[in-house]
Structure formats: structure tokens, C-alpha cells
């Protein structure tokens, strides 16, 4: 059997129920850089760092309550951006799943899990948080 080498990732695709709503969420709220819609206009590309994310409008929108709990996409943020995001998400009523302080494992740090408008589970991760640092609850962060 032959072997080949993958040299990089072209993009990751995220299925969405409504492309315009998703563009507003990922572009305006999360601040990803819009690269434009693909020729067929049912997909829209965004960039963050070295990654491209392709928002793909579903042919049949899915019920937001049928979410796979472990599948998610994670974005790295600074401590300041983490706090600011908590405040903005609270203000905009973005559905929050969980705030977790992960002291062990491969991806350590403080993690905020939330849903996009299509019910996709997302994560903001502040990798600077370490075991022994304060662990304020979400409401305390929002009120700070």
C-alpha cells in the first residue's frame, strides 16, 4: 500500500441552517475575517490565523436540540478577549453550555462552550489559565 503526506488543512466545514445568520455570527460577533462566498452562494469562507472555515448551508435545516455533545470547534483567545467575549455573549444572549477550568490533559486552560445559531457547539479557550489560578464562575466574569 502506498503512502502519501498531507501537507496542511485547506479548510474545516461547519454545517449551518441559515447562511446569512451564520455569517453575522462568525463574522460580526466572533470577528472571523470574511473571505467571501463560493460560486454556488450556499457556502461562505472565513479565516482566522492559519485556518479557513467554510460555513455550509444545509439543504434541510436541523433542529438545534439534536446536538452531538462532544463534537465542537475551538478558538484560542487571549485572557482579555475571553472576558470580553463572556460579556458580549451574555449581552447578546448567546446560549452558554459550560465554563470549564481544565488543569490536566493536552488542551489545558479555561474554556467557554457555547452554541452558534444553528446549534453547533463552539469553544473559546484561554490557554494562559493554569491550575491554582482563580476560577470565577461565568456570572462573576460577566459582572467584572
Q: Taking a C-beta distance cutoff of 8 angstroms, is the pair 114, 122 a contact?
A: yes
Q: For domain 8-61, give the fold.
A: 2,3-Dihydroxybiphenyl 1,2-Dioxygenase; domain 1 (3.10.180)
What DSSP line would sit under 93-136, residue for residue? TPPEEEEEEE-SSSS-EEEEEEE-TT--EEEEEETT--TTS---
**What's residue 85's pLDDT?**
96
pLDDT digits (tens, 9 = 90+) for 113-137: 999 999 999 999 999 999 999 999 9
Confidence of residue 41 (pLDDT cuts 50, 70, 90): confident
- Residue 8's CB is within 10 A of a number of other CB atoms, namely 6
Q: For domain 69-144, give the fold.
A: 2,3-Dihydroxybiphenyl 1,2-Dioxygenase; domain 1 (3.10.180)
C-alpha grid cell, residue 74? 475551538
Residue boundaries of the structural domains of the chain: 8-61, 69-144
State the pTM of this model: 0.86
**For residue 64, pLDDT beyond 80:** no
Amino acid at each position: 500500500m502506498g503512502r502519501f503526506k498531507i501537507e496542511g488543512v485547506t479548510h474545516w466545514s461547519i454545517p449551518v441552517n441559515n447562511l446569512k445568520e451564520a455569517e453575522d455570527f462568525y463574522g460580526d460577533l466572533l470577528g472571523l475575517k470574511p473571505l467571501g462566498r463560493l460560486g454556488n452562494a450556499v457556502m461562505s469562507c472565513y479565516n482566522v490565523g492559519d485556518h479557513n472555515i467554510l460555513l455550509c448551508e444545509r439543504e434541510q435545516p436541523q433542529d438545534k436540540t439534536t446536538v452531538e455533545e462532544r463534537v465542537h470547534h475551538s478558538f484560542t483567545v487571549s485572557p482579555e478577549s475571553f472576558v470580553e467575549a463572556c460579556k458580549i455573549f451574555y449581552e447578546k444572549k448567546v446560549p452558554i453550555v459550560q465554563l470549564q477550568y481544565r488543569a490536566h490533559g493536552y488542551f489545558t486552560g479555561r474554556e467557554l462552550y457555547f452554541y452558534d445559531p444553528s446549534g453547533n457547539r463552539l469553544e473559546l479557550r484561554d490557554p494562559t489559565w493554569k491550575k491554582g489560578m482563580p476560577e470565577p464562575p461565568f456570572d462573576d466574569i460577566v459582572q467584572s
